[in-house]
Structure 1
Amino acid sequence: MRFFEDLSVGDTYEYGTYDVTEDEILEFAEQYDPQWFHTDPERAEEESMYGGLIASGWHTVAMTMRLIVDGYVGDMESLGAKGVDELRWWAPVSPGDALSIENEVLELTPESESRGLAKIKTTTYAERESGDVEKVCSFVGLSMFGRKRDE
């Protein structure tokens, strides 16, 4: 288990991959973001400026969170988060993309004897079926981690 003190400003971690499927895009969108370019593959291919079905940006953030937990936070004494700043969607995510992330520790602030706050920039990348890699999402998370206790 890693703690707040195990982090250093400037640390960078890379994690992935998450394979995006059409079924998952449709399921998420039907429940949470039922706009036609997320829910209607035929119409999206014919009419959208994206050239086909795309994932909701909120779905992209949810898939990113899965990568964060599986690759990083799951091994930390995580206490949740205080928020997210600077959320940006740079490019759409499509079926067949493989997502990966990069985390960079920007700032560390001890908040109490038991907790510290880490400001971490997360960037999500999509490897396209063509092999090209593109930045699709970024944000700065305000994550709380437990501090080491003297035993």
Structure 2
Amino acid sequence: MASEQYLDDLTVGLRFGSRRLVMDSSAIKRFAAEFDPQPFHLDEQAAQGTLFRGLAASGWHTAALTMRLLVESEFRPAGGIVGAGLEELQWPRPTRSGDELYVETEVLEVRPSKSRPAQGIVKVRVTTFNQMQEVLQMYVGNLVVQRRPS
């Protein structure tokens, strides 16, 4: 499915993949310096003595890269990726320098809107993996998706 998908095109169980993106330590530190300046995101030495036992990307950095990969993925909902809220967000494993991130999106639910017939809500699970197929981030979110024009 290369073109955009309308609410009417989406069914429970559909899956969409993304390209891969490699994380590096300089990107981890740049993001952290601006948005999450904690030692385990900024300094390899300091990070050794923490829960992470080494430099780890901020979860918000992983979330931002997930969004980038999602927007560029095979999943192209009509009207764009418009979030209506998250039900769940998890970071079961830290993102490290050298990790090769990719995203898989699975459609969990499709609901036409009763009050706005031109759109509906699609519940998706978006999972970010590394090169070893380990889950780095997972969220369940609700997206507003346009219906096919009549």
Q: After TM superposition, is the score higher than 0.5?
A: yes
The answer to whether residue 62 in structure 2 is matched with residue 55 in structure 1 is no
Partner amino acid, structure 2, of 1:67? L
Paired position in structure 2 for 1:138 = 138
Contact 1:60–1:137 under 8 Å retained in 2: yes
Structure with the larger helix share = 1
The answer to whether residue 48 in structure 2 is matched with residue 7 in structure 1 is no
Matches within 5 A, 1:64-103: 64-74=66-76, 76-78=78-80, 80-103=82-105
Sequence identity, in percent?
Answer: 34
* Structure 1: stretches of 5+ with no match in the other structure: none
Structure with the larger strand share = 1
CA distance in 2: counterparts of 1:66 and 1:79, whole angstroms: 11
- Over 3 Å counting, the alpha-carbon distance change for 1:92 and 1:79 in structure 2 is closer
CA distance in 2: counterparts of 1:63 and 1:114, whole angstroms: 30
- 12-21 vs 98-107, greater mean Cα deviation: 12-21
CA distance in 1: counterparts of 2:8 and 2:145, whole angstroms: 9
Q: 1:79 Cα deviation (Å)?
A: 5.7
Contact 1:2–1:77 under 8 Å retained in 2: no
Paired position in structure 2 for 1:20 = 23
Return the TM-score normalized by structure 2. 0.89
Paired position in structure 2 for 1:42 = 45
Contact 1:79–1:146 under 8 Å retained in 2: no
Q: 1:75 Cα deviation (Å)?
A: 6.1
RMSD: 1.5
Between the two proteins, the alignment pairs up a number of residues equal to 145
Contact 2:107–2:125 under 8 Å retained in 1: yes
* Structure 2: stretches of 5+ with no match in the other structure: none
